[in-house]
Structure 1
Amino acid sequence: MTQDITAPTNGLRDIAIPDSPLARHAAQLIRDTESELLFNHSTRVYLWGALLGERNGISFDPELLYVASMFHDIGLTSDYRESELRFEVDSANAARAFLRSHHVDEADVTTVWAAIALHTTPGIPEHMHGEIALVQAGAGMDVAGRGFDAITREQRAAVVKTYPRGADFAASIIDAFYEGMKHRPGTTFGTFNDDFLAHKDPSFERVNVCSIILNSRWG
């Protein structure tokens, strides 16, 4: 069973928020854990991903895509301020524990884990399961506007009306990423996440993989 997010005349008549017990529980957990900024962002990630999946003929399970989208940034919250894992892995582990507690099939758990863990790793998710590809696509659309023109103006307006971005979303989401990763700078290596630290902290030094290779024990 699904619940339309808005009236059927708003251009989203074929896209709905899943309304299963699993989806409702996930939404409540994230609402209780995350800021309004991250909750709305995560919900939009699902909606953009679903719209892009529909447009591009990518099949996906709405419930799995929704849970993956809702959990994908939970590792940025204050509960993980002592963690030394990548925030994506913290988020994926939280989703895995949640799904296992609801006795979800392990193959589906693995798909959701990968969708979250890989959502900041360019060039790989788009070649995997629909849910994995679409979490990254939805996040890219919401944060950086990737795929912006693939979604109609009417659809964009309907999503943002229901789940607002806020007046200063760009600066606020950068701050959220920075706060969630500044205590574990080493985990940003290998993704674009080090850009958030470099933007906010002039003293941050990026890891140079060439220097690592040249100065390795292999000499």
Structure 2
Amino acid sequence: MTNIVSGIKIPDSKIAREAAELVRQHESELLFNHSVRVFIFGAIKGIRHNLKVDAELLYVAALFHDLGLVDAFHTDTRRFEVDGADAARKFLRGHGIPDPKSDLVWEAIALHTTPGIPQFMRPEIALTNAGVLVDVVGIGYDEFTSEQRDQVIAAFPRGENFKNDFIKAQTCSALKKPATTFGTVNFDYIQEHDPAFHRPNACSRIRNAPWRS
């Protein structure tokens, strides 16, 4: 794998290599390349804002952030973000990483699709979210130069139809456990696939609570 992309060194520690190997084993090229791009874009933003970042932890968070979409790490009752977060924490604990660091990675992954919160948290959490946002929906796209974007894409290509293929991967996961998408952006994948799907309503849930008033 390319060692330096757009000025960002890809972590090459034993843990980083084994994390990449595990994720490569289970994810499609589409998701793996996306995950590394998330790390690079996040790391570039971290440098731009002079943030003190543990590059290895950011890399593991980026690598594992979509692992909950694949069958080997899928559960029936948890959000896919939590499945990926659990896998990352288990991996890090298995490599002797103490809980404060493994928990930080867990939080970064669990919150990576949550709007309005990660950017106020620790850099590894904020930058995982920022990397996802720029690579998937283009938030922050213009903060990167065309040279930076081109170098990242050249090293880890998006493929010919990333947008639709990524939606398909997310939709496949969401359809397997629709109840986990309540209150999250993941519901949009189900709604686009099946507009007739009944969306749980927060107001109805409050009114139907067992309290008398």
Q: Does the alignment reach a TM-score above 0.5? A: yes
Match of 2:52 among 41, 56, 59: 59
Q: Which runs of 5+ in 1 are unaligned?
A: 7-11
Matches within 5 A, 1:1-219: 4-6=3-5, 12-13=6-7, 15-219=8-212
Please identify, of 191-200 and 80-89, the stretch whose mean Cα deviation from structure 2 is larger. Answer: 80-89
CA distance, structure 1, for counterparts of residue 91 and residue 121 of structure 2: 23
Change (3 A) 1:160 1:195: same
Cα pair distance change 1:19/1:111, threshold 3 Å? same
In 2, distance between residues paired with 1:85 and 1:72? 14
Deviation of the 1:54 alpha carbon:
1.2
- 1:207, distance to aligned residue in structure 2 (A): 1.4
- Using the TM superposition, give the Cα deviation of residue 16 of structure 1 relative to its aligned residue in structure 2, in angstroms: 1.1
The answer (yes or no) to whether the contact 1:45–1:69 under 8 Å persists in 2 is: yes
Letter in 1 for 2:4: I
Q: Secondary structure at the match of 2:176?
A: coil
Structure 1 range deviating more: 161-170 or 52-61: 52-61
Do the aligned residues in 1 keep the contact of 2:33 with 2:157 (CA within 8 Å)?
Answer: yes
Indicate how the Cα distance of structure 1 residues 81 and 131 shifts in structure 2: closer, same or farther if over 3 A, else same.
closer
Shift of 1:168: 0.9
- What is the CA–CA distance in structure 2 between the aligned matches of 1:204 and 1:144, rounded to whole Å? 24
Give TM-score, length-normalised by structure 2. Answer: 0.95
Equivalent position SS for 1:165? coil
Measured after TM superposition, the shift of residue 106 of structure 1 is 1.4
Q: Which amino acid aligns with 1:29?
A: L
User: For residues 202 and 189 of structure 1, what CA distance do their matches in structure 2 show?
Assistant: 15
Deviation per CA, 1:113-142: give whole Å up to 9, x if none: 000001111111111110000111000111
CA displacement 1:152-209 (0-9 Å, x = unmatched): 1000000001100111111110100011121111111122110111111223222110
C-alpha RMSD over aligned residues: 1.3
**In structure 2, C-alpha distance between the alignment counterparts of 1:57 and 1:201, rounded to whole Å:** 44
Given the two structures, how large is their TM-score scaled by the length of structure 1? 0.93
Question: Structure 2: where are the runs of 5+ without partners?
Answer: none
**Superposed displacement of residue 55, structure 1:** 1.3
What is the distance in 2 between the residues matched to 1:204 and 1:164?
Answer: 34
List structure 1 runs of 4+ shifted beyond 4 angstroms.
none
What is the deviation of 1:33?
0.6
Give the whole-Å Cα distance in 1 for the aligned partners of 2:175 and 2:56. Answer: 32
Give the distance between the partners of 2:14 and 2:75, measured in 1 at CA: 31
The aligned amino acid for 1:67 is V
